[in-house]
Amino acid sequence: MPTSCKKELRKFEKSLPISLLRTREVTMRLFKPFIDDHDLTMPQWRVLRALAEDEALDAKALAERCVILPPSLTRIFRGLTQRGLIEQVPCTDARRHMVRLTPEGLALFEQVVQESEPTYRQLADAFGAERLDTLLDLLNELRDTVQQMQEDGPVAAPQMRKVAGIR
């Protein structure tokens, strides 16, 4: 490698969005085969996982938790429903599209969890369970911090511009 400089390289590693992306990429690659084996996409898996923990959720909650935009979620609902993995739940508010796992969906979820557990344990051993925990806490706390910043209103310029609708 010709023109690389240690100090400069460090800057790239110090970019938060890029570090998050790259770490997610390798981590995902580690677990993706388990998802692939059951012909699920990652967003589909996130939906199953969220539903496995909360029984029933509406589109809005799922969109936020799984980081999926409403139009994508509509398609994902269709796919998972056709495969009999989720089903709609009647809701007092008829606007809401509430769904839950079917028994088949729950079984599939549990199978994937079981199959991937050895790999997760292997990762925890290699990295250190305690450090992994610290990392997860920091990630979730950073998320809260940034969300707060965004709620508190834009102090810097570009957010304002975005709100103003320029672009």
Binding site for DNA (CB under 7 A): 32, 41-44, 58-60, 67-77, 92-98
Concatenated DSSP letters of 18-33:
HHHHHHHHHHHHHHHH
Residue span binding its own copies (CB under 8 A) among the ranges 76-84, 101-109, 114-122: 114-122
CB of 67 to its own copies, least distance (A): 5
What distance in Å separates the CA atoms of residue 38 and residue 67, rounded to the nearest whole number?
Answer: 21
Residue 25 is a binding residue for its own copies (CB under 8 A): yes
CB of 101 to its own copies, least distance (A): 12
Instruction: Please tell me the count of residues contacting its own copies according to CB under 8 A.
Output: 77
Could you identify the residue written with the tokens 């692939």? 36
Candidates 93, 111, 161, 164: give the one binding its own copies (CB under 8 A).
Answer: 161
Torsion (CA) 104, 109, 112, 118 in degrees, nearest 10: -140
Give whichever of 107 and 146 is closer to its own copies, judged by the CB atom.
146
Q: Are 110 and 43 in contact (CB under 8 A)?
A: no
